[in-house]
Structures are given as C-alpha cells and as structure tokens.
Amino acid sequence: MIELNFSHMMEEVIGSRGLSERIIEDLRDRAKEVHKQIGDRLLPELAFIDLISQDTSEIKRIAREIRRGAESFLILGIGGSALGPRAILEALSPFHNLQKIPKIFIYDNVDPRTLKQILALTDLKTTSVNVISKSGSTAETAAAFMILWDEMKKVPCSDISKRFIATTDPEKGNLRKIVNEEGLKSLAIPQGVGGRYSVLSPVGLLLSEVIGIDADELLMGARDIQKKCSDQELWKNPAYLFGTLLYLMDREKHRTIDVMMAYADGLKPFTEWFCQLWAESLGKQGRGLTPYPSIGSTDQHSQLQLWIDGTQDKVLIFIRVNDYSVDIQLPDIFQNMEGLSYLSGHTLSELIKAEEEATELALAKAGRPNMTITVPQIDAYHMGQLFHFLELATAFTGLLYEINPFNQPGVEEGKNLTYGMMGKKGFEEKRKEVEDHREKKARWRI
C-alpha cells in the first residue's frame, strides 16, 4: 500500500514554517462536511470514484482485437484524454516502442511536425486509432481525427470503421454521432466522469490492456486505496490529509507552488498528469497552488538550489520507490580513488534512495516543507493506488476551497477566440476581437 509521510510538513520537525497539529485539528469538522459531500456525490462528477468497480470485459475484448491485428496503436486526445494514457505507458512499459508491438503513439497536440513524423513511422494498413474525447468537440482532437480519417480512407482495402475505436460520452457529442453513423467500435466514458479524472476509465484502461497490463490490477489498487481513504476522520484519511496540508500551506503559510518530484524516470508523465489534475481542478477564483513536475535525482542538479535557497513559496511532494524490481551493482573498480571507491559495492537503487532521503532532509533542515508518498513498487496495482489517491485528494481539496474541482471556466475564452479565428459559425465577434487586438499587439515590438 502507498504511504504518506508528512513529518516534514510539521512545525515540530521543520520549525515555524511548518504546520502545527492544532491548525490541522481546526479543519477536522470541515473535513467531515466535505467527506459527506463526497459520500453523497454532491457533484455528479464525483462519479469518478465509482470507476473502481467497473466491468472491464469489453475493454479487454477490444484490446485483444487490437493486439491481434495492429502493429501500431495511435491515441488522439488532449488534456485528460492523453495525459493518463501516457502516464500508464511510461510507468508500466518504459521504452515500449523499442521492444514491443503494437507500437504506441500518443498525439496530443496539433503540431504538424509531430503528426507528419507519426504518419511516416506508421503503416496505416496495420494501425488502430483510438480517438479519445469526452465532449467529442475538442478542436485539437477533432482536427487530428479528421486527418487520420481522411488518410485512412486512402489506404487500399481498409475497412475504415474497423480501424478506429472512439472513447467518448455514452450518448452525446459529435464523436458519438460519428460512432453511430459510421458504425465505429466505441467505449463509453461514464456520465459525470470528466477528462482529468478519467484515467481509470476506458481512457486509460484500453491502452493499458493493449500494452499487456491488466486493467483489473489498476482497479484493484484503486479499490484498496479507496478503502484506506474512506474514513471521515481527517487524521486517519491520507487523501484528505494530503489535500488539507497543501491547502493550509497555501492559506496559512503563503506557499503557492507544489512541486511533485518522483524518483523514477517512468513517473515523469505521471507527475505531468498530476499537474494537470491539480491545476485545472483547483486554479479558480484567485486560488490554488501551482503544480510543477519534476524528476529526482536529475532535477537535484537543475532546480534544487532554487527550492532550498530561493523564494519561500514552495512545498515539495516526493515520490519514493521502495523496490525498483531490478538493480545494478556498482563494480569494484578505481579502488585507489577515494572520490569514486565509496560507491563500489552499492547498488543504483541504494544510491537513488539515498539521494531522495538526503534531499528530503536537506529541505527540512532549511525549514522547507515537504512530504513523501512512498510506493512499494511501480506496478499496475500501485499505479492504480496513486491515480485514485491523487484524484480523491484533488476533489477533496477543491471542496475544501469551496470551488468546483470539475469545471474549467478559465479555458473557455481562449477556445472561443480560436473558434472565431478558425471561422466557426456564431463566433464572428470573437474573430473581430482578435483582429482588432492585433493592432495593439503590433505597437511594442523590437
């Protein structure tokens, strides 16, 4: 089971920049209220909690078909529809494309260079495309889908409907309409489950099965952590404590950046997944800590100086791995060089764990708050725990802030201005606004 250690958040350990037990205690009743809101499914989007008991048989069936027939599996999606699959891929099947078939490509932008390269690297005759969009109307995903659809049509003897799997809303949206009209295979993202809370829905689970990772293991992990995080008592609930500690660091200590630093290369996309979850859920009404993704020990040599000695505005969240499953011993060579010989006989996992522990302590000694999530192993079961734990903690934190952690009103204006520029009907005013603004933008240039 994953474990949260928050000793380095506490005043008793790191001094006045830490939190007192009393201040946490003051939020106990509020946590109980939020617990009730979660239990009552106050907002329909809390449906993500129920994903943990879904039936995966249809996902497994479609994945088997893909594995049998495809040499490449291409995901089209953006935001929550891509970050979760990428986190699963890199954590559970690192260097996948150098070793395994089907090769996996995740196109989560509209950069033409990337798509050109993907098209050059794949043979569409043997490619399955998984287009993922909850709303079915996201411009970037729609654009990529239209291109792939058109390209796929040019492939001789290709039964186009068989080459696409749409993962989308069960009833609504353009993508669902296309599924119905063209007879595409499809998987449903359950009602209420929004993009950034969807990794444990068919959004992440289909990819998981395609790369040979049992989706039920991910869900079993999520179910077990759900049990551990079901207590209304703040002191006994790690997800609620995680959220409360960061909330208090923001509110009471004016720390407005939370860095997630994972000591495993394969968890880099996972830290990016967390950053999207946290930022889009909590960055509202002038509130919210800014999340920042990081990898240890690598970033000790690029960022740590700032975190330990720079502006007093950050909280570090370490992800520590107990057992890396493999290890490499350092050879007994260069014995006459003191600067190297101390390493001999140790292993790489000893070194990376020492680096992590040392960094925690160095920060704590400098009065810099940090906490650690320890993961026994990077496998499907524990990844399921991590995903669900952080989703629960994020939803809890949003409710603690009294904001809606499931919407994203701030991104609408940019979308509308884009629609205007791309000529979408009804957005003519927005186009004019962009054009008028170009004059202002033209003035201060060198």
Q: Which stretches of the chain bind ligand PA5, using CB under 6 A?
A: 78-81, 133-135, 138, 141, 194-196, 280
217, 415, 424, 433: the catalytic one is 415
- Residue 415 among the catalytic residues: yes
Alpha-carbon distance 369 to 249, whole Å?
9
- Tell how far CA 388 is from the center of its chain: 11
Q: For residues 195 and 296, which CB has a smaller minimum distance to ligand PA5 in the complex?
A: 195
Residue with nearest beta carbon to ligand PA5: 195
Cα–Cα distance between 361 and 125 in angstroms, integer? 54
**From the CB of 141, what's the least distance to ligand PA5, in Å?**
5
Instruction: Show the 3-state SS of the chain.
Output: CCEEECHHHEHHHHCCCCECHHHHHCCHHHHHHHHHHHHCCCCHHHHHHHHHHCCCHHHHHHHHHHHHHCCEEEEECCCHHHHHHHHHHHHHCCCHHHHCCCEEEEECCCCHHHHHHHHHHCCHHHEEEEEEECCCCCHHHHHHHHHHHHHHHCCCCCCHHHHEEEEECCCCCHHHHHHHHHCCEEEECCCCCCHHHCCCCHHHHHHHHHCCCCHHHHHHHHHHHHHHCCCCCHHHCHHHHHHHHHHHHHHHHCCCEEEEEECCHHHHHHHHHHHHHHHHHHCCCCCCCEEEEEECCHHHHCCHHHHHHCCCCEEEEEEEEEECCCCCECCCCCCCCHHHHCCCCCEHHHHHHHHHHHHHHHHHHCCCCEEEEEEEECCHHHHHHHHHHHHHHHHHHHHHCCCCCCCCHHHHHHHHHHHHHCCCCCCHHHHHHHHHHHHHHHHCCC
Q: Is 301 a catalytic residue?
A: yes
**Catalytic residue of the set 280, 356, 360, 391:** 280
Shortest distance, CB of residue 134 to ligand PA5, whole angstroms?
4
Q: State the minimum distance, in angstroms, from the CB of residue 189 to ligand PA5.
A: 8
Report in angstroms how near the CB of residue 413 gets to ligand PA5 at its nearest.
14
Q: Which is nearer to ligand PA5, 107 or 263 (CB)?
A: 107
From 154, 171, 254, 301, the catalytic residue:
301
Nearest distance from C-beta of residue 100 to ligand PA5, angstroms? 27
The smaller minimum CB distance to ligand PA5, of residues 79 and 102, is found at 79
Minimum distance of ligand PA5 from residue 294's CB (angstroms)? 21
Q: Could you tell me the smallest distance in angstroms from the CB atom of residue 174 to ligand PA5?
A: 10
CB of 85 to ligand PA5, least distance (A): 12
Closer residue to ligand PA5, CB minimum distance, 84 or 221: 84
90 vs 280, which CB is nearer to ligand PA5?
280
Please identify, using beta-carbon distances, which residue of 259 and 275 lies nearer to ligand PA5: 275
Kindly tell me which of 195 and 269 has the beta carbon lying closer to ligand PA5: 195
Q: Are 92 and 378 in contact (CB under 8 A)?
A: yes
Answer yes or no: 134 catalytic.
no
Q: Cβ closer to ligand PA5: 360 or 391? A: 391
- Spatial distance between the Cα atoms of 294 and 269, rounded to a whole number of angstroms: 10
Distance CA 67, CA 70 (A): 6
Cα angle 372-212-189, degrees, rounded to a multiple of 5:
75
Q: Which residues are marked as active site?
A: 280, 301, 415
